[in-house]
Structure 1
Amino acid sequence: MSPLNRDDIHRIFEMLDENGDGFVSHDELKRILERIGVQISLAELEALVGKRSLDLLDFVCFYDTVIKVNIGDQSVAGEEGNDVESDLAKAFKVYDLNGDGVISCDELQSVLSRLGMWDEHGRRDCKPMIDLYDTNSDGVLDFEEFKNMMAINNS
């Protein structure tokens, strides 16, 4: 899992806060987790989060805790046969919808839309996001560029 900057975390918080009350409830958090394939009961989520709902500060703290745990796991995993690379390969496959070995703008937008992290009506293009890490300028991200993107966001 790659750390995000505070602006990204704030945007995610706003997207998760579906009813706009300034809090992310367990139900709202559970829905996004299910969208990305994580099955967790409300009881497990409540035990993990420790509160009925999270304000932005609580959400940032929760996110930071999850990142620290995952980064710690990754440093150990590197000694166990490169699990980090395996996790990155799995993440890459989530975005590479047609299995052609690259992530296109359409694929990135499709996945972000399914996760509820893309405003369909904003009429923005994913091209600037792709271009930022597209080192060979072919308009798509291959696995090495994806790994570099994740490494940059992880530092």
Structure 2
Amino acid sequence: MENVPILRRRSSSVKKEFSEKELEELKTAFQLLDRNRDGRVTAGELKIMLNNLGIEIKEEKVEEIIRTMSHSGSELIDENDFLTFVKQMQLALPEVADDVTRDLGAAFRVFDLDGDGFITREELKTAMEMIGEPLTETQLTNLIRTADLDHDNRINYEEFVKLLSS
């Protein structure tokens, strides 16, 4: 990773590194990580998402990842930190993108209970209960609203996977 330029931008300049569509999709991904919607992601929030994807990781490692992603080395990352980290990973690990796409697609399909390529409100509710993370009606509404890029009241996981791997 020595040959990878370190992107430490704090302004919107990192946003220029992505297409408009990529940026919209990455913002959605960040919002999904930011469970309490405070504009920052904690190690705990990241660990929950990783665990939900079937990735077991020690709390200390997650804290280290967050500190690495944070421009200040703190235990919180904001949207710019997230975007900068994604860009660094794209530059450093292009060959991993295919594996990540497959893994995220498989993880997301867990929520698509009827296999139609979409996650409905009811499927999301059921899947979250199955993984021990039940959601309130308000949380369900907010999650669907955040992730539903084409506003059809369903989540298209193929687009979501593309956003995280592009």
Using the size of structure 2 for normalisation, the TM-score is 0.50
CA–CA distance in structure 1, aligned partners of residues 57 and 87 of structure 2: 20
1:99 deviates by 9.2
Between the two proteins, the alignment pairs up a number of residues equal to 124
Equivalent AA in structure 1 for residue 42 of structure 2: S
Query: How much has 1:25 moved relative to structure 2?
Result: 0.8
Q: Is the 8 A contact 1:93 1:99 kept in 2?
A: no
Partner of 1:88 in structure 2? 102
Picking from 47, 50, 75, the partner of 1:33 is: 50
SS of equivalent to 1:68: helix
Distance 1:22 1:42 in 2: 21
Distance 1:152 1:16, change over 3 A: closer
Deviation readout 1:83-115 (Å, 9 max, x if unpaired): x48963883475167899x54334798369749
Structure 2: gaps of 5 or more residues: 1-18, 134-138, 145-151
Q: Distance in 1 between matches of 2:105 and 2:45?
A: 23
Match of 2:91 in 1: 68
Distance 2:81 2:100 in 1: 31
1:48/1:88 Cα in 2 relative to 1: closer, same or farther (>3 Å)?
Answer: same
Indicate whether 1:53 and 2:76 are aligned.
Answer: yes
Find the residue that maps to 1:71 and give its secondary structure: coil
Task: Among all aligned residue pairs of Structure 1 and Structure 2, give the percentage whose two residues are the same amino acid.
Answer: 16
TM score, norm. by length of structure 1: 0.53
| 2:39 is equivalent to residue 44 of structure 1 | no
Q: CA RMSD in A?
A: 4.4
